[in-house]
Structure 1
Amino acid sequence: MNKIITLLVCLTISTFTYSQTGKITGKITDDGNNALFGVSVSFKNQQKGTQTNEEGVFEITNIENGDYTLLISILGYKSKEVPFSITNSEPVNLNTIIIYEGNEILSEVFIEGTRANKFSRKESAYVSKMPLKNIENSQVYNTVTNQLLVSQSVNSFQDALTNATGVTKLWSSTGRSGDGAGYYSSRGFAVQPQLVNGVAGITNGFINPSNVERVEVIKGPSATLFGSSVTSYGGLINIITKKPYKGTGGEITLAGGSNDFAKINMDVNVSAKEKLSFRLNSGYQKENSFQDAGFKKSYYIAPSVSYKASNNLAFNFSYEASKNEQTNETFLFLNRYGPLAFSSIEDLNYDTNLSFTNNDVVLENNTQNYRGEIAWKITDKWSSQTLIAGGVAKSNGYYTYLWNFADWSNPSAPVGTPYFNLYAQDTDAKTKTLNLQQNFNGIFNLGDFQNKVLVGFDYLDSKTIDQSSNWGYLNTINLQGDLLAGAPTSAENLETALNRIGNVDSDVRQNVFGAYVSDIINILPSLSVMASVRYDRFNYKGDQNTDEDDDTEYTESTFSPKFGIVYQPILNKVSIFTNYQNGFSYVNPQYITDFTTGETYLQSYDVEQANQFEFGVKTKLFNNKLETTLSYYNINVANKYYWATKTQDLEVNSQGIELEVNANPINRLNLHGGFSYNDSEITNSPSATYLEGNRYGESGPEITYNFWADYKFLKNFGVGAGFNGATEYDTMVDYKAATGSFYLPAYTILNASVYYETNKFRVSVKGNNLTDEEFYSGWSTVTPQNKRVILATLNYKF
């Protein structure tokens, strides 16, 4: 009987205790009344919390009576604190809570696990420099997400960019000062990765993807918001690094594979209460070439800190230092001035196992980038972002390249035999940059029309000091590796060859001041119009590599407009857009020699101008499970400078279509794909009529495509597979009037992976170029690309 009474008392107490708890519910949307999925809703200073469902709704139960504060946060939106109280165990409904897009302080790690379409990430604080979702943005951009990088076991930046629609590699990173980053083609024009976290950054040498959260490729001339220094007429590449987040945890990554590939990476994040978060990302990576010689090594460390002084004020700082060592990849420069006796890889008869280098012929790149940010929410509708960023890059060591001499350069050579001379430079150069930027974002109404406004200015100062040696000759070889003249390639022989040949001794400084304003007017909920303009002032002072005693100074200024219209026939699901975008480029003055009189004079040039007209469709359907962008663009440059004639009378037209798809058709299956067609032509060239009708040399192949699928099954197992490829293209198209054509073959590269993944660790095996296809990149050059590679990766999370 006593036991029964005791049990009844316990049940009564339990029932009473349970009855003394309440619950809280609510819905979270953005300022366009769109439900937000995967928003973190947690109790401040407690572990209790949840996330919103696909309707943006959340519910937390078993809350004791008392006063609480909800902390609401998601990447790309400003965090919000909402106080509430539970009294008499009554439920509380907070109804709709609106949060606004803003500065990216949190990391994606909290929401990646719940987002169904994992390869989609179209919200960004960088592309338009204002709160603007992709579907309401008249500009096209591609995003390579961290989840896609993990799925593909990406260990190089160029592999990451194979996922960007219409982007192909022209040159690998050379490590040279000034232009040492890789070159890629986008929409028919060469572009380099020169933007880090939305501001100018130094990317000479190897970019380690272990500290990359995602890559944004912003398409078309984008000088109105970003200026001319970090953009091309085809677009720009923005590298987003990993940032601190609220919480404590981390990840250790170990990888190894073909060509003695080895990698170790450590990523640790700690938080002190709610205000201070610190993250440290560091690692080491090395890889040998698939050829008989060659290697790359990279060490880096990247600390970052975020301090939230209040709900309205946050400070962020990030820093990255890296040390890179590498031998030069094989660059076969084809002769630009005489007829080539070969027009294809088969004719060239190149043994691609040969690198024509030595592992003691090393180029070192030490780089540093820093970025400080003050994010201030002035009012609910106005915010300020203040940025200071900069970097230093040093290049030291030997840079070499191989230049083809046509058959006639060696009278005793068998007809059709290509010979190459190796030239080298003892590089000693340093580049330093400083970037200041101030942005104000606001929302206000004029009558019935809502306006989203960006007002900002930026200042970029860069200085390059080059004390490298002049170029020197070392040897002559054929493509079967026979040494025909000169000394074998080695550091010792290069030191002898380059001794006492003099130095470049160049000191160049450039600074750019820009001011810009952008206004997006919502005429209707489904119709918006955007207008932007930029004023830019450029100053150049430096050497022109002439006998002139005085430095050349050059100052020029220009305006750059931008317009766009977006109509959403199905609100927040389908948009039809069109845009006009402008890009520009300053052309430094050149010394011209009049060969009839022998006189030399300084020739100045106008600012190059590129104009793009584009239209297309964007979709975001089935609860974000299908995201597509289809567009047609037409870019025209009417006054392109041509280096060979030193005239500014080329007219280049580049037009094409692009399609990008991110999809989650069924649970656990994620798809990412892209297709691009580009038609580029030099339409007018009075000073070099032989160029007219040619494809522009930077354009790369006409058609490129990429696809990747990732499917997870039996809870923890997964497979991934995909391909990327391009049609053949003429790498000598700029010079074919004198040389004839040389075609790099079409290719399709197949890749696949298998993995096992839990909350704590992931083990994967990846195969790249499974069919061991021989393929090449080039821009008046020929560079063989990696053969079959097998990689194994272990990620441990804590």
Structure 2
Amino acid sequence: MHSIFAQSKITGKVTNPDGSPIEFVNVVLTEVNLGAVTDQEGKYTITSIKPGRYNLVSSFVGYQSSERQIQVQKNENLQIDFILKDDALQLDEITVSYTRKNKFHKDSSFIVSKLPLKDIENPQVYNSIPKSILKEQVVTNFNDALKNATGVIRLWESTGRGGDGAEFFSMRGFSVQPTLVNGMPAINSGGLDPANIESLDIIKGPTGTLFGSPVISYGGLINVTTKQPYESFGGSINYITGSNGLNRIATDVNTKISDNSFARVNMAYNKQNSFQDAGYSKSFFIAPSLKFTPSEKLTFLVNTEFLSNESANAPMLFLNRNAELSYNNINVFQKSYTKSFTSNDLNIKNPSFGLQAQALYKISDSWTSQSVVSRSNTKANGFYQYLWDLTDGESFARYISKRNTETNTTDIQQNFIGDFKIAGLRNRMVIGLDYYNSLLTDNSSAYAQNGTVNIQTQEDTGILTSAGTNALLEDDYSGINEASNEVISAYISDVINITPALSVMASLRLDRFGGKPSIYAQEEIDLQYALSPKFGLVYQVLEEKLSVFGNYMNGFTNVPPQQVTDVDGSNPRIKTFDPENANQYEGGIKSNFLNNRISATASYYHITVANRLMTDPENINNSIQGGEVVSQGYELSLAANPVNGLNIIAGYSYNDSEVTKDFEASGYLGLRPEEAGPAELINFWASYTIPTGSLRGLGIGFGGNSASEYKTLNRAGTGTFILPAYQVFNASLSYSTFQYDLIFKVNNLSNEKYFSGWSTITPQNLRNVSLSLNFKF
């Protein structure tokens, strides 16, 4: 540790290795959110500093950040100079180490655009949720973390089954699962642990141009940016206990191995029961990572994640999609709100593994090479069950299967990232090649009926032991099924500064797809090609402070072949289809005032998804393309630190979605799609920590989420079932020092009963409390 005697003032100068001053560098005492920005001479001054131990961090986009541990004492002047190494295109520094005064504003621009492009320069909308807010809110699961994102809501909880067992969320009218880690594909079949999250990046719109068809949603993407090693020893130990038997212990240890190699390990053990009468989740997570810099031009990064997860999940309760609804309101389901209709003996295991290795080589002052290999493996082994409405107004049949699946993915990317001038115009360009391969192997049993459940009386006639259920499924083996994808892609994206204030983005991707998109496909797709363009325009009305932007973005989905016949059932044949495609037009403003203290985005978007499959009006045994969905709306996002100690994150979204073209008898035409979720969403969290005085470190937090009513089932042939609107509020009390944090959190203060779903009805957690103890070293 760098220990020195100092006055309540720190001054210094920030230069690059050749001695030239660097302007606009943030120099921050992270514990008290107190800092300064360097002037044209690279100088900074921080005043009004109380005695104590601090981390002093110097950071700026395009340079490696530097951190010092210092001890400030009374009545001394302290001068600390920094020399920042030029590292303009290193992914880990740009996405992880860029520090702002506003601790709720996290810049993840490199992940979004694959370019060193600031948020205010980027014509695409995204939200980033930093680890600081996860810590402050005592977040122990992925869903609670995403409640801080504008316009995002969970539809399905994790089922654990293979292929699509992760949680489903709705964004801009379309369902989406978390499928990216550090911008690379990473599939999982269960829940994600937040222990290794540096930030969550919510990238809005159909972003097929840079990320490709296998991992996109038309509404956007969810990316996890992981923690990376840094250049000194440090870490923390965290213990959380709370309602429903919550016990969680997590550690984060970073160390310097040598002058050019650094390692970091994040670990977590988590155990919690359900708020219902049965159900639990238990997991162990470890994420070792390594950074090695053999030269100033070359950096290697290796990130790994191992998760062992076991859970007993309440069966999803499906409304019957094929018959007229037998329920007209939520009241009947309130009676069984805390009833799980399962047992802890019917569990499922979801081990997963992920590895990313990348090499960053600075070819010249203008170009950097980024080579990345990413592998992921996830399994499902255990029971998956659901309840199906028998349309008598009270009974549901339980269907259960023993799942045995494995998914392997491989992704290899080679990017060349440039920052150069042509004819005096600045260009920031990425040229990339991408190879993606996935294989899902399904060796599960078939589904068998396992009793019935009476939703009125809670009577259950099913077998709720693993031994009894295994006996029930003994002769129901369904064989081995596989789904494999192979995608080879090339893409290019260029941002040209016509003037310092006006920039234009143009991007294009070419994909060659082969394989089966799902295990239900009857034949493989044979080398299907798709082009995905993207355009954007940004004008900075006030440089670095206020910009207006517009974008056109495209995404697509490969459609599996299907068997069709003539009207009379004759002439069976396999029919192939063109990819679905989505086109978004969006415009809005981005602002960044008071030296990054107040950042806001407002935008309006219009998404049209065309070429969807629909039944042929002249032949019910044939499918044709021509279906269309239109989703439009607006979003407002705010991350603010208006005064020292006060941090605010908030968002409002409105979405209007409609099936505009379809076969009329399908029952969807003119209706809001069920995957669109509630039309209106609000998220808000504000916290204040006393920055000075005898009560310094004492903090409070308050916030919550609100959703309008949601049509979980919405079809002309069956009817509409509405989940009521809700408002859920949370609060916290905290006390922090340089070495430890103590946080008491209450979720769902008013004990609100509320539901989520997607043609399903799922009760959500009631009031619960947690206590977090965190020791830093």
| Partners of 2:150 and 2:653 within 8 A in 1 | yes
- 2:190 corresponds in structure 1 to 205
CA distance 1:553–1:260, change in 2 (3 Å): same
- 1:452 corresponds in structure 2 to 428
Pick the aligned partner of 2:716 from 711, 715, 737: 737
Shift in Å, 1:120? 0.6
| Partners of 1:463 and 1:510 within 8 A in 2 | yes
Pick the aligned partner of 1:304 from 277, 289, 295: 289
Pick the aligned partner of 1:431 from 390, 407, 420: 407
Matched, 1:669 2:618: no
Shift in Å, 1:405? 1.0
Shift in Å, 1:264? 0.6
Query: What per-residue deviation string (whole Å, max 9, x for no partner) do you get for residues 438-459 of structure 1?
Result: 1111122221211111100111
Shift in Å, 1:436? 0.1
Once residues 123 and 397 of structure 1 are traced to their aligned partners in structure 2, the CA distance between those partners, rounded to angstroms, is: 37
| Partners of 1:135 and 1:618 within 8 A in 2 | yes
Letter in 1 for 2:399: Y
Pick the aligned partner of 2:268 from 283, 287, 309: 283
| Partners of 2:332 and 2:456 within 8 A in 1 | no
Pick the aligned partner of 1:726 from 692, 707, 712: 707
Once residues 232 and 315 of structure 2 are traced to their aligned partners in structure 1, the CA distance between those partners, rounded to angstroms, is: 46
What secondary structure is seen at the aligned counterpart in 2 of 1:105?
helix
What secondary structure is seen at the aligned counterpart in 2 of 1:732?
strand
Shift in Å, 1:709? 0.4
- 1:53 corresponds in structure 2 to 37
- 2:604 corresponds in structure 1 to 632
- 1:588 corresponds in structure 2 to 560
- 2:591 corresponds in structure 1 to 619
Letter in 2 for 1:35: F
Q: Which stretch has the larger CA shift, 757-766 or 267-276?
A: 267-276
Matched, 1:440 2:428: no
Shift in Å, 1:698? 1.0
Q: Which stretch has the larger CA shift, 475-484 or 647-656?
A: 475-484
Once residues 370 and 165 of structure 1 are traced to their aligned partners in structure 2, the CA distance between those partners, rounded to angstroms, is: 30
| Partners of 1:75 and 1:105 within 8 A in 2 | no
Matched, 1:321 2:296: no
Q: Which stretch has the larger CA shift, 100-109 or 394-403?
A: 100-109
- 1:117 corresponds in structure 2 to 102
Q: Which stretch has the larger CA shift, 447-456 or 316-325?
A: 447-456
CA distance 1:542–1:523, change in 2 (3 Å): closer
Letter in 2 for 1:554: D
- 1:131 corresponds in structure 2 to 116
| Partners of 1:442 and 1:453 within 8 A in 2 | yes
Shift in Å, 1:686? 3.3
- 2:466 corresponds in structure 1 to 491
Once residues 241 and 281 of structure 1 are traced to their aligned partners in structure 2, the CA distance between those partners, rounded to angstroms, is: 10
Shift in Å, 1:488? 3.0
- 2:163 corresponds in structure 1 to 178
CA distance 1:273–1:418, change in 2 (3 Å): same
Shift in Å, 1:80? 8.4
CA distance 1:24–1:653, change in 2 (3 Å): closer
- 2:442 corresponds in structure 1 to 466
Matched, 1:535 2:510: yes
Letter in 1 for 2:697: N
Query: What per-residue deviation string (whole Å, max 9, x for no partner) do you get for residues 279-331 of structure 1?
Result: 11111001100000000011111100000111111000011111110112341
Letter in 2 for 1:761: Y
What secondary structure is seen at the aligned counterpart in 2 of 1:370?
strand
CA distance 1:597–1:646, change in 2 (3 Å): closer
Matches within 5 A, 1:672-683: 672-683=649-660
| Partners of 2:240 and 2:772 within 8 A in 1 | yes
- 2:730 corresponds in structure 1 to 751
CA distance 1:649–1:109, change in 2 (3 Å): closer
| Partners of 1:762 and 1:794 within 8 A in 2 | yes
Shift in Å, 1:494? 1.2
CA distance 1:490–1:37, change in 2 (3 Å): same
Give the gaps of 5 or more residues in structure 2. Answer: 1-10, 47-55, 67-78
What secondary structure is seen at the aligned counterpart in 1 of 2:612?
strand
- 2:13 corresponds in structure 1 to 25
Pick the aligned partner of 1:267 from 225, 248, 252: 252
Query: What per-residue deviation string (whole Å, max 9, x for no partner) do you get for residues 106-129 of structure 1?
Result: 5999876xx431101124321100
| Partners of 1:106 and 1:245 within 8 A in 2 | no
Matches within 5 A, 1:371-386: 371-386=356-371
Pairwise CA RMSD: 2.8
- 2:53 corresponds in structure 1 to none
- 1:191 corresponds in structure 2 to 176
CA distance 1:274–1:79, change in 2 (3 Å): farther
Once residues 32 and 605 of structure 1 are traced to their aligned partners in structure 2, the CA distance between those partners, rounded to angstroms, is: 59
| Partners of 2:25 and 2:58 within 8 A in 1 | no
CA distance 1:97–1:138, change in 2 (3 Å): same
Query: What per-residue deviation string (whole Å, max 9, x for no partner) do you get for residues 734-786 of structure 1?
Result: xx212111100111110000011011100110000010000111000011110
Matched, 1:389 2:365: no
- 1:706 corresponds in structure 2 to 683
Query: What per-residue deviation string (whole Å, max 9, x for no partner) do you get for residues 410-430 of structure 1?
Result: xxxxxxx32100001101111
Matched, 1:238 2:215: no
CA distance 1:244–1:682, change in 2 (3 Å): same
CA distance 1:693–1:760, change in 2 (3 Å): same
Pick the aligned partner of 1:102 from 89, 98, 110: 89
Matches within 5 A, 1:323-338: 323-338=308-323
- 2:7 corresponds in structure 1 to none
CA distance 1:346–1:773, change in 2 (3 Å): same
| Partners of 1:77 and 1:104 within 8 A in 2 | no
Give the gaps of 5 or more residues in structure 1. Answer: 1-22, 42-49, 62-70, 82-91, 408-416
- 1:10 corresponds in structure 2 to none
Shift in Å, 1:27? 6.0
- 1:67 corresponds in structure 2 to none
CA distance 1:317–1:511, change in 2 (3 Å): same
Once residues 339 and 201 of structure 1 are traced to their aligned partners in structure 2, the CA distance between those partners, rounded to angstroms, is: 39
CA distance 1:526–1:100, change in 2 (3 Å): farther
CA distance 1:52–1:385, change in 2 (3 Å): farther
CA distance 1:770–1:574, change in 2 (3 Å): same
| TM-score normalised by the chain length of structure 1 | 0.87
Once residues 151 and 666 of structure 2 are traced to their aligned partners in structure 1, the CA distance between those partners, rounded to angstroms, is: 29
Matched, 1:398 2:383: yes
CA distance 1:611–1:688, change in 2 (3 Å): farther
Query: What per-residue deviation string (whole Å, max 9, x for no partner) do you get for residues 444-497 of structure 1?
Result: 222121111110011110011111001111111111454465x43221221121
What secondary structure is seen at the aligned counterpart in 1 of 2:288?
strand
CA distance 1:134–1:107, change in 2 (3 Å): closer
Once residues 602 and 35 of structure 2 are traced to their aligned partners in structure 1, the CA distance between those partners, rounded to angstroms, is: 32
- 2:24 corresponds in structure 1 to 35
Pick the aligned partner of 1:603 from 575, 581, 597: 575
Once residues 633 and 555 of structure 1 are traced to their aligned partners in structure 2, the CA distance between those partners, rounded to angstroms, is: 32
Shift in Å, 1:32? 14
Aligned residues: 731
Letter in 2 for 1:374: A
Pick the aligned partner of 2:634 from 651, 657, 660: 657
| Partners of 2:65 and 2:98 within 8 A in 1 | no
Once residues 388 and 276 of structure 2 are traced to their aligned partners in structure 1, the CA distance between those partners, rounded to angstroms, is: 19
CA distance 1:642–1:368, change in 2 (3 Å): farther
What secondary structure is seen at the aligned counterpart in 2 of 1:524?
coil
Matched, 1:479 2:455: yes
Letter in 2 for 1:732: L
